[in-house]
Amino acid sequence: MKRAWQIMCVAFIAVSALTILFSFGYPYEDKLGFGPAFFPVWLSLITGALALALFIQTTWGESVVDLSATLLPDRQGLWRIFLILIALLGCLALLEPLGFRITLFLFLLALPMGLGAGNWWVTLVIAVAGSFGVFHVFYYLLKVPLPVGMFGI
């Protein structure tokens, strides 16, 4: 299993290097501030550094993690992964007809409850703030066009 960790670390380092290489085709800065290459470059540097650190630790350091353990999730983990994928596909299907606010509200309300969040009030407040607040910031302040949907909400 140690070899699998090393291979994945090398793969992440390679993907990070390719992302940085392709990011240099875009401007790092423009007249408004950070350009389209800013986030890919920094995320690639962080990912590459973490993958390199994990490779070094896996190869020469003491193992903090049991490297002989399986990487596959148990039954409950598989259920959670499936639930998240279904919720994301539902968002994809409902985004245009219902609009950003309603779709994100339903996502932020249903997914935590499906994953076992216990407090309905906190989830409701986060869903309202997350959907309507994020829409307000992006649509009105940052001028990012987001779908409004058939209800105009």
pLDDT in tens, 38-92: 999 999 999 999 999 999 998 988 766 665 666 678 899 899 999 999 999 999 9
| Overall domain count for the chain | 2
Average pLDDT of 9-13? Answer: 97
Domain identity same for 45 and 94: no
Average pLDDT of 134-139? Answer: 94
- Return d(Cα 93, Cα 106) in angstroms, integer: 13
**Residue 147 lies inside a defined structural domain of this protein:** no
**Residue 46 lies inside a defined structural domain of this protein:** yes
Domain residues for 81?
Answer: 75-141
Domain identity same for 6 and 54: yes
**Residues whose CB is less than 8 angstroms from the CB of residue 138 and which lie 6 or more positions away in sequence, other chains included:** 144, 146
**Residue 148 lies inside a defined structural domain of this protein:** no
**Residue 68 lies inside a defined structural domain of this protein:** no
Domain identity same for 82 and 128: yes
- The residue that leads in pLDDT, 74 or 18, is 18
Domain identity same for 56 and 85: no
Output the six-digit token pair for 4: 């699998």
Domain identity same for 55 and 79: no
**Which of 13, 29, 60 delimits the end of a domain?**
60
**Residue 28 lies inside a defined structural domain of this protein:** yes
Is pTM, for the whole model, over 0.95? no
